């Protein structure tokens, strides 16, 4: 485990996380589900969990304590901080999911768990290592969001006048045309949806220049309600993509507006 004055964290393999979840009696958290006991032969599963336990013991995340009251003569004791970090994924009252997809199709996801008395960032590094980091103040939360979405500060000044509203189905169809290298088809779809030619051409150029698309999803566990906004990143600008009924509202934006939208989501249940 790694600790710091302001934060503390844990990094484990997939198999080690399965082991921790089983010890906590948790079947799944975002990004990881414990495999069924019959998914492999009993010998394979025993070897897998045995190796994971030995690794966790070596990291001082798990301890074996002698206990005559237990059938095996000992009991497993998890490090308190490790249990809190991993368990936050199952106890979260609110969940912030941050997804980033590049033009090449590569995608990454980060989760921020708002559990009672603890906020935790969960990311998967190199596709196999799960990292959990306690976010002990608001600045660390916003820093984690910025890193997950790879937010840049070198964009051009914002034109506040760029604010476009278009039907969601038309926007999605135009995106598909852009992916097929058919800008003309995208413009036609957007015009048919009611946009003027100049605005449709501008939006099609924006979609062609999009380097990455970020999605920010906010889930409230109590009533399973959700909120979402998306972020288009081009070579020179960011655009907020906000749902408005069946439409999308697309406006050129800056970092302060993006973080403000995140804060608005979080504060609506504070």
Q: Has residue 2 got a pLDDT over 70?
A: no
Question: What integer best gives the mean pLDDT of the chain?
Answer: 91
Q: Compute CA distances 168 → 151, 158, 245, 249, 250, whole Å.
A: 25, 24, 9, 9, 11
pLDDT tens digits for range 211-222: 999 999 999 988
pLDDT in the model for residue 264: 87
Distance separating alpha carbons of residues 220 and 218, to the nearest angstrom: 7
pLDDT in the model for residue 167: 97
Lowest average pLDDT, out of 14-23, 63-72, 204-213, goes to 63-72
Q: Compute CA distances 88 → 150, 191, 253, whole Å.
A: 24, 47, 33
pLDDT in the model for residue 188: 97
What does DSSP assign to residue 7? -
List, as one string, the DSSP characters of 176-208: HHHHTT-HHHHHHHHHHTT--HHHHHHHHHHHH
pLDDT in the model for residue 15: 95
pLDDT in the model for residue 61: 96
Pairing mode of beta strands 107-115, 238-244: unpaired
Query: What is the model's pTM?
Result: 0.90
pLDDT in the model for residue 3: 40
pLDDT tens digits for range 143-192: 999 999 999 988 898 988 899 999 999 999 999 999 999 999 999 999 99
Confidence of residue 68 (pLDDT cuts 50, 70, 90): confident
Q: Where are the beta strands (DSSP E) in the chain?
A: 2-3, 8-12, 28-29, 32-33, 62-66, 74-78, 94-102, 107-115, 118-125, 129-134, 163-167, 210-220, 225-234, 238-244, 247-253
Neighbours of 76 (CB within 10 A): 16
């Amino acid at each position: 485990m790694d600790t710091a004055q302001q934060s503390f964290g844990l990094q484990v393999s997939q198999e080690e996380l399965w082991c921790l979840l089983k010890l906590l009696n948790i079947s799944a958290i975002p990004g990881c589900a414990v495999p069924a006991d019959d998914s492999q032969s009993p010998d394979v599963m025993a070897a897998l969990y045995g190796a994971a336990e030995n690794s966790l013991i070596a990291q001082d995340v798990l301890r074996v304590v002698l206990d005559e009251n237990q059938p095996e003569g000992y009991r497993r004791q998890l490090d308190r901080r490790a249990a809190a970090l991993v368990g936050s994924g199952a106890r979260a009252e609110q969940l912030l999911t941050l997804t980033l997809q590049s033009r090449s199709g590569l995608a990454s996801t980060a989760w921020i768990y708002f559990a009672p008395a603890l906020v935790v960032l969960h990311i998967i590094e190199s596709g196999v290592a799960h990292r959990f980091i306690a976010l002990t103040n608001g600045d660390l939360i916003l820093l984690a969001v910025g890193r997950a979405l790879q937010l840049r500060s070198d964009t051009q000044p914002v034109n506040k006048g760029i604010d476009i509203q278009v039907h969601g189905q038309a926007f999605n169809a135009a995106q598909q045309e852009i992916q097929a290298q058919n800008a003309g088809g995208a413009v036609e779809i957007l015009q048919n949806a009611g946009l003027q030619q100049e605005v449709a051409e501008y939006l099609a150029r924006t979609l062609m220049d999009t380097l990455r698309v970020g999605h920010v999803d906010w889930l409230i566990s109590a009533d399973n309600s959700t909120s979402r906004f998306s972020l288009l990143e081009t070579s020179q600008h960011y655009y907020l993509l906000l749902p408005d009924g069946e439409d999308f509202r697309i406006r050129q934006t800056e970092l302060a507006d993006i973080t403000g939208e995140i804060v608005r989501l979080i504060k609506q249940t504070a």
